[in-house]
Each structure stands twice: as structure tokens, then as C-alpha cells.
């Protein structure tokens, strides 16, 4: 913990939903739910209008529809979220060279490296206010909540206190006064299972956690977790803001609207995912040794299998061959809902030709495959019509797609329906790197 409040945490409010409301004027001020559009989907983000009905992240799409049936359910446009995130991260790096992104909508900023005249509370408060103003400006109206404190832990906690569109600065020396009345669940890493263990031990608040001995916490939660909570309950956190976070693994996965039963199709999907993983590894300068596949069966049972190579690789073909061999050991006759491939044990060097040359038969397996089930007109997707111009998919079914024609810079626009094969209407595909 530092002697100054010089760690800033910024969290964009309901980010995915906010981007959709920005780009779709007819949805502003209305409940919007991103994700959860299919029967097996989960909610990625709910707008604050939807949260009033009890909709939250990670909730099933079915439950979200039951709670808020009048919401707009959108599949998500990650190219738009990435582009907006880049604008925000550029603003943060204008403040300080030490920016640690945690996700598209969240980051730490080290104000001690910002070249400020001092780090007094008034100075960092002014920086936080200006940062929020700039984010609102460059993103076209999105809001952010900021927490500023003497450590990453406290800055993160502070950014949760005045949502949305707020700011909390924790003055040095007041950290424990802030923490003690709070429930233990505000501590990162204290999920439902850990909170339940602590509750059964009579520990509900951070004040009660602070009064608990370290040995007791270690016995209750294990050495690493127990020691970590003992430290955080005393506001002890010396983790630095790191501008480049080291990736621990790289993975790609997909959930499908219809159960997959064709073994050859599954192998093809794993092959394509492995290629994507390899491409991302090469782009990041990584290679890895441990290949893992993730398979969720028709009954929601989730299986994973791993194999560790003798040397690191970043080759998609190599990763694909290992992934297919791991799939061969699993019984998937009942159908598969989700498939994924990941590589861990990352390194910065590669052993070439680990498995030798790819055979012609393997090449055929990789390319001569049917396309997996995919929604051609997912709700929220960008489209353009030859006469009406740009718009987005309101809904589709029975060979018809309904479009609302509007953009971020227009008033709410008209709604029109077309045949799904109408040549005048087409999807606007995201950039290739997204």
C-alpha cells in the first residue's frame, strides 16, 4: 500500500450495452441485454434499465427474458466494443505511461508515473474528473466510474461505490475505515463458495475478517488464499501497475445453437479454432506446450483434456492435431453444445517441425468441412440496404429479417422487413482482425 492515493481504477459503465445504446438511438433509455439471445446463451452485459428488473451478467438468457421480456436482446458486436476500448485506452495512456488493461472496459492507471505536480487528494481528484470527461467525449457519450486509492485492491473497491458515472477517492489513512463495514464479498477472489465458508465460520464483514488469525484463515481456505485474504483485510496490497500483462493462456471456443453430432464437423471446428489460437500466439510473440480442449455435452457436462508437448509451438496445424487426438478419447454421441481449444505454458521460443510435415489427408480434414450452425442475421448486427442505407437487425425468422435504419448520428429510424435473400440487403462484416 502506498503513502499516496495514486492508483486509479476505471470501469466503463455497462460497456457493451452502452455501446449498443450509443449506436442505436431507438434503444437509448430502454433496457438492453447483450448476449443471451439463444436458448443456451448467457448475459454478457445488461444496461442499467435492464438491471432494475434483476437482470445481471452471467444470467441465462432464458431467465433474463423471464425477468425483462420487453428488453432488446442483442448478440453483440465485438468489433465495435474493441474500437471503443482502444479510444479509452489511448486516453488513459495520455494520462500515464503505466496503464494495465484488465479487459475491454476496465484498467488500472499509475498516477505516480503521470508527471503530476503532486499526489495530493485534490490533484488526483481533478485528474479523475478530467479523465471521465475525456472518456465521455471520445466515446460519443459513454460514462465511466473511477476509484482512486493507495493500492489496486482499494482502487477497485472504490470504483464500485458510486456507480454509474461516479468517482470515489480514498484518502490515505482512511482505508480501513472504508473497508471494515463492508461484506467480505467485495474482496476480489471471494466468490460464493469462499463467502459461504467464511459465513459458516462466523465471518461476514471485513472487520470480522481482520480479527481472524492468519493460521485460522489458512486452515479454512488454504495457504495462498488464506494468507492473501488476511493481508487484504488489513488493506495490504503492494502489487504494481504493470503496463504489459503476461498472458497465461490463449484460447478460442464456440457455443452452438444446435447440438453437434457429426464427429468430422467437430474435428473441423477444433481445427479452425486451433488455427485462430496459433495466429493469436504468433501475433503476440508467444508459443506454448500444453494443448487443452474443452467440450460441453448435451447435458451440460463439461469435460477437458490436455496434452503437454516436449517443446513449445505456435503452429495451428500442430495444435489442431493434438486437439483432434484429445477429442478422439471422448464420447460425444449424445451431442456437443460447446467446443474450445487453448494453449498454456506460454514461452517466447518455438521448436519448429515438432510433428513433421502435414499430410495431404490432414489438409483435407482441415478444409473440406461443412459450416457449423450459425445465425445469418443475429439481432443487433450491422447491415446496409442499397436504398435505405445503414441499419441493424431488429429480428429475423421464417425467411424474413426486420431492420431498423438508424445510426449513432441519426434520430430513431424507421423499421422495414425484407426477405433474408433480398440482394439489396447485406451484413456489414467486422474487420478481419476482429
Catalytic residue among 20, 100, 106, 267: 106
Helix (H, G, I), strand (E, B) or coil at 84: helix
Grid coordinates representing 29? 433509455
Q: Which residue has the cell 437487425?
A: 393
| Own/partner long-range contacts of 154-157 (Cβ < 8 Å, ≥24 apart) | 154/1, 154/7, 154/178, 154/179, 154/235, 154/237, 155/7, 155/8, 155/9, 155/108, 156/9, 156/188, 157/182, 157/186
Beta sheet of 106-110, edge-to-edge order:
99-103, 106-110, 7-12, 144-149, 167-169
Residue 106 annotated as catalytic: yes
> Which grid cell is 323?
486437439
Q: If we measure between CA atoms, which residue out of 321, 327, 236, 333 comes closest to residue 275?
A: 321
Cis peptide before 132 (omega within 30 of 0): no
d(CA 433, CA 80): 12
Can you read off the three cell numbers belonging to residue 128?
479523475
Task: Give the DSSP letter of residue 3.
Answer: S
Residues annotated as catalytic are 106
Amino acid at each position: 500500500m502506498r503513502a499516496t492515493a495514486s492508483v486509479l481504477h476505471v470501469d466503463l459503465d455497462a460497456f457493451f450495452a452502452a455501446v449498443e445504446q450509443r449506436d442505436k438511438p431507438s434503444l437509448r433509455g430502454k433496457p438492453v441485454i447483450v448476449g443471451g439471445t439463444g436458448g443456451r446463451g448467457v448475459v454478457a452485459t445488461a444496461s442499467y434499465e435492464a438491471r432494475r428488473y434483476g437482470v445481471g451478467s452471467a444470467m441465462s438468457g432464458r431467465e433474463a427474458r423471464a425477468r425483462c421480456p420487453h428488453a432488446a436482446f442483442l448478440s453483440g458486436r465485438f468489433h465495435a466494443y474493441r474500437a471503443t476500448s482502444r479510444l479509452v485506452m489511448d486516453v488513459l495512456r495520455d494520462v500515464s505511461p503505466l496503464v494495465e488493461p484488465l479487459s475491454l472496459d476496465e484498467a488500472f492507471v499509475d498516477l505516480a508515473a503521470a508527471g503530476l505536480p503532486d499526489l495530493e487528494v485534490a490533484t488526483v481528484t481533478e485528474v479523475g474528473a478530467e479523465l471521465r470527461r475525456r472518456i465521455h467525449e471520445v466515446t460519443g457519450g459513454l460514462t465511466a466510474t473511477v476509484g482512486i486509492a493507495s493500492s489496486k485492491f482499494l482502487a477497485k473497491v472504490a470504483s464500485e461505490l458510486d456507480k454509474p458515472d461516479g468517482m470515489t477517492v480514498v484518502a490515505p489513512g482512511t482505508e480501513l475505515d472504508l473497508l471494515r463495514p463492508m461484506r467480505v464479498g467485495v474482496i476480489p477472489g471471494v466468490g460464493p463458495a469462499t463467502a459461504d465458508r467464511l459465513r459458516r465460520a462466523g465471518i461476514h464483514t471485513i472487520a470480522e475478517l481482520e480479527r481472524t488469525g492468519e493460521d485460522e484463515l489458512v486452515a479454512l481456505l488454504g495457504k495462498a488464499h488464506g494468507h492473501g485474504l488476511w493481508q487484504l483485510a488489513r488493506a495490504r496490497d503492494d502489487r504494481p501497475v504493470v503496463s504489459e500483462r503476461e498472458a497465461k493462456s490463449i484460447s478460442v471456443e464456440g457455443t452452438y445453437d444446435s447440438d453437434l453430432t457429426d464427429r468430422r464437423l467437430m474435428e473441423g471446428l477444433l481445427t479452425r479454432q486451433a488455427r485462430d489460437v496459433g495466429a493469436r500466439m504468433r501475433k503476440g510473440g508467444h508459443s506454448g506446450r500444453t494443448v487443452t480442449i474443452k467440450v460441453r455435452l448435451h447435458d451440460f457436462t463439461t469435460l477437458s483434456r490436455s496434452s503437454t508437448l516436449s517443446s513449445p509451438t505456435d503452429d495451428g496445424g500442430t495444435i489442431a492435431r493434438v486437439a483432434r487426438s484429445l477429442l478422439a478419447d471422448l464420447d460425444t454421441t449424445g451431442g456437443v453444445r460447446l467446443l474450445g481449444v487453448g494453449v498454456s505454458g506460454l514461452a517466447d521460443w518455438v521448436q519448429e517441425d515438432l510433428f513433421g510435415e502435414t499430410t495431404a489427408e490432414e489438409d483435407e480434414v482441415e478444409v473440406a468441412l461443412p459450416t457449423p450452425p450459425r445465425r445469418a442475421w443475429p439481432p443487433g448486427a450491422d447491415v446496409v440496404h442499397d436504398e435505405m442505407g445503414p441499419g441493424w437487425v431488429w429480428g429475423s425468422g421464417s425467411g424474413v429479417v426486420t431492420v431498423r435504419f438508424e445510426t449513432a448520428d441519426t434520430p430513431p429510424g424507421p423499421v422495414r422487413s425484407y426477405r433474408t435473400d433480398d440482394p439489396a440487403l447485406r451484413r456489414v462484416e467486422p474487420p478481419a482482425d476482429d
